Amino acid sequence: MITRAEYEQKIKKHINSNMSKVLSDKWRSKYHIMAPIGWINDPNGLCQFKDQYHVFYQYSPLEAKGGMKFWGHYVSKDLVHFEERDIAIYPDIEEDKDGVYSGSALVKDDTMYFFYTGNVKHQGNHDYILTGREQNVILVTSKDGIEFSEKKILLRNSDFPEDMSLHVRDPKVWEEDGIYYMVLGARGKNDKGYVLLYKSVDLYNWTLHSVPAGGEENMGYMWECPDLFYLDGKTVFMFSPQGLEADGFKYNNVYQSGYAFGNFVNDKKELKLDQFVELDRGFDFYAPQTFEDAKGRRIMIGWMGVPDAVEHKNPTVENYWQHQLTLPRELKIIDNKLYQLPLKELETLRKDLIENKVALNSNDVLNIIDRNTFELRVDLEECSKFNMKFREDCVLSFVEGVFKLTQGKSGYGRNERAAYISNLRSIDIFSDNSSIEIFINDGEEVFTSRVYNDMLDTNVILEGEGTAIIRKWNI
């Protein structure tokens, strides 16, 4: 097993050798969280502690294509401007020696409690589903986000139900009526996804309470990154099922992330779930996690990527880094649907407003873009047909109730995603150097994607039917 000191030395050497190529890459983001070098995936340990927001994340500093996982760390006062901190958690004990996997945070009194999965892979001829793997639930605490306690092993595979495979991970913990609850995502030995529910009175000693949901036909073989919270009087279960088959415009990525409204019954022995709904209809979204901030807002951040998406390329790998996180999004329930709204604080990034009102049937070309980092807001009136081209070959269209995002060569393997929308009222686009996040009708649907246009495209080309008010801000 490699020690923490050995990892620190290897990482320092790697940074010294390759950081110049990372920093010179034109596709490094301006206002999204990226790894300093290497690979980033799932957001972890999201919380607000005292006057700071903390965002931890799955971090592979030594390998841009993913590798040994650590927990990286950023802090922020406003969820807009982030400061990098040192690596928070290293894979430096026997129970996590093959990776510090995903988990969550719970703030209690003057302490942050971090729960994560310690991954272990044994040598030999194993399938690593039923044999050869350990996935341990581990706890560390911190009073400042800088110094961390010794690791405590809370649960091992032997503590999980016998009909589960060795894939049990991603603890999410919350407090309710003086009791602490933990959900874990699991893969059953029958190759169906499940959620496990544990409970505790002290955060250190946990017992299995139930297997409240899972085992459904056509709902995948593994439920990753479970998250359960209450919002606007509803119970929301968020998770990332693996193994869903594509269904028209739905489930077109290799793995999905979404939610279902539900209700606990029979003393939380059962979680009755409604229909599963995808959270993001774009190419690059997975493993979202939520937390509640001091203002009472439910805030979600996702990974702008998808595991095993071999058809999607990211040319930044050549410069020793890959992927980023989404912008923080506030969740609200509107018309019995979970909406995702860009945080109000993001408006502080706006500058140099340009505003135009156009008749869509005039086929206008607006020469209004002077950088790839901007916010573009389109408000529409009586729009029955819409088409907009920007960033060389990104096209947004709305025809006969179908909204589409189409990408050309700048998508590096990303082609088309779509969703049904009854009417199109507004589009809000957050464009960064190598990404776009598109909010339809103030968060009714969201499309997230990476984009790597070779040249700066200064034009926005509009056509269709109806009237549009276009507002563009530089960021």
How far apart, in whole angstroms, are the C-alpha atoms of residue 471 and residue 344? Answer: 16
Q: How many domains is the chain built from?
A: 2
What does the pLDDT read at residue 307? 96
42 part of the active site: yes
What does the pLDDT read at residue 440? 98
The model's pTM is: 0.98
pLDDT digits (tens, 9 = 90+) for 54-108: 999 999 999 999 999 999 999 999 999 999 999 999 999 999 999 999 999 999 9
How far apart, in whole angstroms, are the C-alpha atoms of residue 191 and residue 154? Answer: 25
Per the prediction, the chain carries an average pLDDT of: 97
Tokens of 153: 């092993």
What value does the CA radius of gyration of the chain take, rounded to a whole number of Å? 22
Where does the pLDDT of residue 339 fall: very low under 50, low under 70, confident under 90, or very high at 90 and above? very high
pLDDT digits (tens, 9 = 90+) for 16-27: 999 999 999 999
pLDDT digits (tens, 9 = 90+) for 234-290: 999 999 999 999 999 999 999 999 999 999 999 999 999 999 999 999 999 999 999
Strands (E) in 324-434, as ranges, are 324-325, 329-334, 337-342, 351-359, 365-367, 374-390, 394-399, 402-406, 416-420, 426-432
Instruction: Please indicate, yes or no, whether residues 37 and 171 belong to a single structural domain of this protein.
Output: yes
Instruction: Please indicate, yes or no, whether residues 247 and 111 belong to a single structural domain of this protein.
Output: yes
Provide the 8-state DSSP code for 75.
Answer: E
Of 42, 170, 227, 284, which residue is the catalytic one? 42
CATH number at residue 375: 2.60.120.560
Q: Is 216 among the domain residues?
A: yes
Domain span at residue 273? 4-9+30-342
What does the pLDDT read at residue 414? 98
How far apart, in whole angstroms, are the C-alpha atoms of residue 196 and residue 219? Answer: 16
Provide the 8-state DSSP code for 255.
Answer: B
How far apart, in whole angstroms, are the C-alpha atoms of residue 156 and residue 138? Answer: 9
What value, to the nearest 5°, has the Cα angle with vertex 275 and ends 265 and 229? 55
Tokens of 422: 């009854």
Query: Among the three residues 312, 342, 372, which one is the final residue of a domain in this structure?
Result: 342
What does the pLDDT read at residue 385? 96
Instruction: Please indicate, yes or no, whether residues 239 and 265 belong to a single structural domain of this protein.
Output: yes
User: Percent of the chain, pLDDT > 90?
Assistant: 99
What does the pLDDT read at residue 357? 96
Tokens of 139: 């706890």
Instruction: Please indicate, yes or no, whether residues 336 and 377 belong to a single structural domain of this protein.
Output: no
Please count the other Cβ atoms lying within 10 Å of the Cβ belonging to residue 392: 17
Tokens of 354: 């340009």
Instruction: Please indicate, yes or no, whether residues 180 and 300 belong to a single structural domain of this protein.
Output: yes
Where does the pLDDT of residue 403 fall: very low under 50, low under 70, confident under 90, or very high at 90 and above? very high
Which residue type sits at 152?
K
Instruction: Please indicate, yes or no, whether residues 359 and 310 belong to a single structural domain of this protein.
Output: no
User: Percent of the chain, pLDDT > 70?
Assistant: 100
What does the pLDDT read at residue 33? 98
